[in-house]
Chains A and B, each alone.
Chain A
């Protein structure tokens, strides 16, 4: 808040906002101002307090101390309704849309009410938004039928339909493919040109540099500083964000060996009974990390389930050491050498059981004496895993009390201590902070160096590019492309992900 700029007016200002959760201080005396016509980046690691701050502004959380000023006047925002009334709109990370309803119905929900639904008014809003801001959505489409990018546009439309002048976007690019990101940025530029202020929450430096005019960096609940984007660079922002220069992730040179896993012409049905995998073939060498790229919902989850034995393939083979293991149940899959880090971490543990029990859950047979559990060895195993993987908890703590990063370490410990021949990892760092992310990535790379074949499924393109040796792209249940990760062209990759062809 140092650089003078009298020409633009401040629409919303937060002054000395503090929010505590028990002993944790989520926001500590935060000052922030949002000006008309600017995209203002809010940058910080997971847990830095970005989301809490925006939830306060949108009335979802009450601050313990501090003031919110709208047009220079102090206001109290108790609920989203108050925020909307003050001209503040928000697009959260998890969309709040009623998916079986149409776009128009979603826009109508909560609007000033007569007896009857006025869908014509909603359609008019959609047309107006298309003309003014280039936001294109079909008003009568069912939200459930829209892509994630389109659903995000509906969320933006909802905020605009509330006549907002300040739009908060919480990590809006996390769910988008590259083409959709550039479309979103174009929209944001038109919104700010029309005089809106946009708060853009992110932890991706390149995007913040690309689209914002100013950046406020948070670390551990405090403002590290606010800088003009034109006067800064990635290095400075990264240093502000983590307090030290971030080490770039690198895929260490590995020498892939023999084939670890070969998947041939695999077919499988998805949850709705429709074909989810259609003739999928690929192979992974020992010591290789194969990245599976694709917009979520194109067969990746089903692939993970098939490879772990949770879903039966309808055709095709899965070979480890030349032996077809397709159709095995999860226990036999594990015995054959497949280890799995599941996408849904909480579904992979029994939350009320202790860390020690969860660590032996997948191979209880080895921790028993006759019909009874061998508590001594379970305890010894837990102590060993806790120290080897740096899990911050006691062996008797229930797993549900662990943070996301520690939970992931428990899952890693459980799988990696078995030295699997093939490791199948889904969204390994989703929701983890930078420290935990670095740790998890390091463990995955170490497994490859040990000689395991790794299948890495991730929605985070940066992660795929940083870790993988090779990428295959999934689109509508098929492998539509294969390319080396080093020097992969993001444009080509994005096209493959979004359309299934690079042409």
Chain B
């Protein structure tokens, strides 16, 4: 029983950055832009969030810095894919490479000469129900599941902004002829999405670890891309997909230390969550309806 409760707690914790990333990517893609800058945006969010917190001594300043970096990264994607109309794959991978490079460079400038790792005091877990295996989580985790996910769904489904966002992602010509500003809507979606991705990255440095290490995101941005497709561009299905991945991830960590699994190379177990995502994509990802204007820049004739 304890094992299961611990597993559940770890699942929620591991899923948190993925929920931010997946919802952020969902917003971008529902507006018609595949944002492959997600990996770099999470990375830059992790680093600059940490750096701002380390320099000012305020975790709130760190979080705000991460949000600012995410907004900027989203605006950069907007400039490349909406205003200039470049290929979205190239723009996204370029953004990721650029942001990772900048983060590592500034890291060496600011923290490179020190002895050992710089650390900040991370956010403490919050236990509203007292000592507890499940509800001992960071504030960002509660926000992700109880505030962000319902709010993100509500905005998409119920507000005018959400309607416009979905329309420019499905049929920008129709949205334009109805008087919706396609470029502005896509910029907004990319910037909101970027801010969420960056917060997802900052979760590692500001909450889970309290320090910044190279390769801290380790491909979780790419995982989010797959989770969005697995979730068929729905907020709730994306959250469920993130939970599935995180559950398998937490499970393999625990299996590694069990006697019975010592014979299996731990690298195989480490690959398990990724294999599950691939399998899930293969099973459920066929014939999915992509947003109608996916990957297409919009130009009025």
A residues lining the B interface (CB < 8 Å) = 60, 79-81, 84, 95-101, 105-106, 108-110, 113-117, 158, 272-273
Contact = CB atoms under 8 A, between A and B. Distances in A.
B160 A116 contact: yes
A109 B158 contact: no
Interface in B145-171: 158-164, 166-167, 170-171
A109 B170 contact: no
B7 to A, nearest CB: 37
A417 to B, nearest CB: 36
Nearest to A80: B177
Classify the interface of chain A: helix, strand, loop or mixed. Answer: loop
Of A101, A114, A273, which is in contact with the most chain B CB atoms at under 10 Å from its CB? Answer: A101
B176 A109 contact: no
Given A81-B179, A101-B166, A114-B160, A109 B287 contact: no
A100 to B, nearest CB: 6
Contacts of B162: 117
A105 B287 CA distance: 25
A115 B161 CA distance: 7
A115 B173 contact: no
B159 A109 contact: no
A117 B167 contact: no
Contacts of A60: 177, 301
A105 B178 CA distance: 12
A269 to B, nearest CB: 12
Interface string B275-301: 000000000000101001000000001
B179 A115 contact: no
Classify the interface of chain B: helix, strand, loop or mixed. Answer: helix
Given A60-B301, A98-B175, A158-B178, A109 B163 contact: yes
B179 A80 contact: yes
- Report, nearest first, the 10 A-B pairs whose CB atoms are least far apart: A110-B178, A96-B174, A110-B179, A113-B160, A81-B179, A109-B178, A98-B171, A98-B170, A80-B177, A96-B177
Nearest to A114: B160
Contacts of A95: 174
7 contacts: A80-B176, A98-B167, A101-B167, A101-B170, A114-B160, A116-B158, A117-B162
A116 B177 CA distance: 21
B209 interface: no
A80 B177 CA distance: 6
A109 B301 contact: no
Q: Bin the interface of chain B by size.
A: 20 to 34
B171 A99 contact: yes
A378 to B, nearest CB: 34
B217 to A, nearest CB: 33
A117 B287 CA distance: 30
A105 B159 CA distance: 11
Contact of B163 (A96, A117, A272, A273): A117
A96 B292 contact: no
B180 interface: yes
Given A98-B170, A109-B164, A272 B179 contact: no
Contacts of B166: 98, 100-101
A81 B180 CA distance: 9
B292 A100 contact: yes
B180 A109 contact: yes
Given A60-B301, A114-B160, A272-B287, A109 B167 contact: yes
A84 B180 CA distance: 13
Given A101-B167, A109-B174, A110-B180, 12 more contacts: A97-B174, A98-B174, A98-B292, A100-B166, A101-B166, A106-B174, A109-B164, A109-B175, A110-B179, A115-B160, A116-B159, A273-B287
